[in-house]
Structure 1
Amino acid sequence: MPTSTPIPNPGDVIPHFQPILTMDTQRIFAYEVLGRWLTPEGTRSLGPFFHDPSVSTEDHIRIDRVIRQKAIAALAKAPKDTRLFLNLKPSWIYSFRDRPEQLPTLKFLREHNVDPSRVTVEITEDSFNDDIEDLARVTQTYREAGCQIAIDDVGSGFINFDRIAYIKPNILKLDLELVKKCTREEFFKEVLASFANTAEKIGAFLLFEGIETEEEVQIALSLGARYLQGYFFAKPHDEFLSPYVFHHCLSYQIRQFVDHALWETHSDQRASDALRSSLLECLPRWPEGTAPRWRKADEFISRFLDLLPGLVSRVYLCDERGYQCSSNFTRRRGEWITEEEFRGRNWAWRPYFLNNIVKATYKETGKLSSTYTDAHSGCKMRTYIYPAGDELFLCLDLCVD
């Protein structure tokens, strides 16, 4: 089948190197290798060639290996702390499942006497329908040789948690489109936060690519990025740069991030202190008598409802195991509604709940949760948990929209 993209001559393709920056030392950590084509009209990206389905897999692999070998040859001449990220499709790796000792990248590293620890194998987002366990076993060959493993475009169409779980990458590379959508839709930031949590749990680091604006830098830092990459810092170059060329820029971005994060943290503490002060002023004594506990709990809450700040939208009491002892008292159109059907429900499954209960117990003060979306109302909420005595905890749901 004829191709719509010409096949380049191997002698006309070269690697370019886009810096990947690390936040801990504010220097260049590594470079992603990207293919370029030298033509009479100028240097062209090989992206269209590699994404053209009419080009055979054999031609894709042949040209890619030329670029990889030239990149590794350049790495051999570079300072010892220079590192590369090499993109490989999962199907290319899988094809060596019966002969992993013949993996071309490891062969090139041996030929040029380059330490494999200077290379990260970046597995691309392409669809993969073969045996994921076999793919993981071949990938392990790179790791045993000393390479690190990254998974590219996490959050895009083909990446799933199976691939992450089996391959156990050192680095998760976040899809740039999700980062850009974060600037328009808060929901996408929450999706990225879930990957940040995954990375922390499995001992991987986050790399955010496609960074083009200062706002995207700040979003990435707020989500735990250790590594950043994108045109905001540098386009791909045909040579390696001075390691600290972006140090001033990164230091400034970190200062901006820290200033904002500290402001938010102090604001949270002030909000928590204000809620505690309000409760200390209005909380009544626990009802006496022989009435059932749930009735006492409802009576206790009803005595101070009208004294609560306007941002409190729901009030209830739970024990330390997460069981609700009272009704829900929900504010609707300025009036408090009693919802008895919530008595006896358990909220220990909520990610923040038990952790905040313990902190409230030991510090003898309230604990404010992070912001979440209420599944019933769709509103942005935070929950303030305060020790109310008698081994019960007062829960105030705050609407923060």
Structure 2
Amino acid sequence: MDALDVMGKKDKIFPYFQPIVSADKQQIIGYEVLGRIRTEEGIKSLGFFFEDSSIPEEYILEIDTHIRNAAIDYFQKRESDQSLFLNCNARHLLYDHGETITNSLEDYATSGISYGKIVIEVSGYDVEDDQLQKLQHILTYYKSLGVQVAISHAGSTMSNIEKIAFLNPNIIKVDLTNLKDKGMPPEYREVLYALSMLGRKIGATLLFEGIEGIGQLKYAWENGGRYYQGYYLGRPGPEFLSVDKCKPLLTKEFHHFIEHERKRLLSLYTLSQNFNHHLQQQVKRTKHNDWNVIVSEAAQSLGEACFRGYICDEDGRQVSANYYRNGEGIWESQPEYEGDNWSWRPYFLENIVRMRHEQVGILSDLYSDIETNELIRTYSYPINETHYLFLDIPYLYLYERDDY
């Protein structure tokens, strides 16, 4: 089916609605509007039509407006308090400076549809800086009306995060489709963390789409997702669903997630307490004042729980060598690290202050190690008022104990 086939069959084109569910209410709070066409082979998606850059913009805007208006007509008849998420490619918005959408929004407002019930969902915003500036002006105007703006982040890389920040959306949409229910690549954790931090800084909400199974739902819940979308929760269809359709499922799964998280946090707390007690005894037994001896004895005393140790002063300057267990299980000294300063690391000085006042060790969040690129945690322990021991814990040790 080509563009002319689509243009000649507008009477066969209509909207489908895919539900978007909130974590707080556990209800369907809105629907993404998707284009469909009825053919002799059955109902087909119009994704190919909107994604084809060779199709004239006028055709795209005409069909897009037809679908959008049909969706609004249905929405108005339902007298729904939910929101409609309307897809807009940046290229199409820039073509006519957003006027087609602006005119539609004004028509909807005149017919009684609140601007606050409309979400403009923008994709394809990887454009040149001058075009990005124009796009930002268009979206700022929509937001001034009360319309919400969502920006889609697809893939598993850091690309376009700066552009998302510049566009300053109300919602950041993250696609989990390619992750399935099999493990999460370490680099994607970093992307999710960056998007989560960006959302907090600009006041944007995270919406996870492409949720096709329990693993993806759990990951979205763990990573601060307020809104969820995907086949696991509801497939696109011609009609709205009961607002509470997903509530039994989410109530059950959230309970499982919470129980698992409680056990995990308790396990981490116990691990931290055990390390603290062990190191208290270890430091007391140490007969040396040599920082290298202290760190080597402490690291080795933890066995498989530690693969690297070092000591820093209160200003972040490393006063010992690294004491490192290599891949063959042999401990070796790395004196070249002595004198390095680690005060630039996030939370370093905050943790120093906490340890000084609380006189207990601190277990870090999970993060990617600079050298190995593997996920680890670091346990920090106050040796005295001015010097602190840092012991890196490998992911395998944490995973085997459900402490990751």
The answer to whether TM tops 0.5 is yes
Q: CA deviation at 1:183?
A: 3.0
Q: 2 CA distance for matches of 1:101 and 1:35?
A: 17
Aligned to 1:395: 390
Bigger mean CA offset, 63-72 vs 296-305: 296-305
3-state SS of 1:131 partner: helix
Q: 2 CA distance for matches of 1:102 and 1:20?
A: 22
Aligned to 1:216: 216
Q: What TM-score comes out, normalization by structure 1 length?
A: 0.89
* Closer, same or farther: CA 328–147 of 1 in aligned 2, 3 Å: same
Bigger mean CA offset, 273-282 vs 151-160: 151-160
Bigger mean CA offset, 348-357 vs 17-26: 348-357
The answer to whether the 8 A contact 1:33-1:86 is kept is yes
Aligned to 1:171: 171
| Residue 359 of structure 2 is aligned to residue 359 of structure 1 | no
Q: Deviations over 1:340-372 (max 9, x none)?
A: 221221112222423332332332211111222
* Closer, same or farther: CA 36–15 of 1 in aligned 2, 3 Å: same
3-state SS of 2:311 partner: strand
* Closer, same or farther: CA 232–339 of 1 in aligned 2, 3 Å: same
Q: Deviations over 1:93-143 (max 9, x none)?
A: 22344x859723313312422100001100013543352111111111110
Q: CA deviation at 1:200?
A: 2.1
Q: 1 CA distance for matches of 2:321 and 2:177?
A: 44
CA RMSD of aligned residues (A): 2.6
Q: CA deviation at 1:394?
A: 1.0
| Residue 109 of structure 2 is aligned to residue 110 of structure 1 | yes
Q: What TM-score comes out, normalization by structure 2 length?
A: 0.89
Q: Deviations over 1:247-289 (max 9, x none)?
A: 101111211211121111111111111111111221137879x
Aligned to 1:136: 136
Q: 1 CA distance for matches of 2:59 and 2:53?
A: 11
After the TM superposition, which residues 244-323 of structure 1 pair with which residues of structure 2 at under 5 Å, given as runs?
244-284=244-284, 296-302=290-296, 304=298, 306-323=300-317
Bigger mean CA offset, 150-159 vs 164-173: 150-159
Identical counterparts, % of pairs: 33
Aligned residues: 393
The answer to whether the 8 A contact 1:93-1:139 is kept is no
Q: 1 CA distance for matches of 2:307 and 2:188?
A: 26
After the TM superposition, which residues 339-378 of structure 1 pair with which residues of structure 2 at under 5 Å, given as runs?
339-378=334-373
Q: Deviations over 1:279-307 (max 9, x none)?
A: 1221137879xxxxxx7423443555543
3-state SS of 1:50 partner: helix
Q: Which amino acid is the alignment partner of residue 301 of structure 2?
A: L
Aligned to 1:384: 379
The structure in which a higher percent of residues are helix is 2
Q: 2 CA distance for matches of 1:225 and 1:317?
A: 38
Q: CA deviation at 1:316?
A: 1.5
Bigger mean CA offset, 246-255 vs 3-12: 3-12
The answer to whether the 8 A contact 2:299-2:391 is kept is no
3-state SS of 2:284 partner: coil
3-state SS of 1:216 partner: helix
Q: 1 CA distance for matches of 2:182 and 2:61?
A: 35
Q: 2 CA distance for matches of 1:41 and 1:308?
A: 65
3-state SS of 1:194 partner: helix
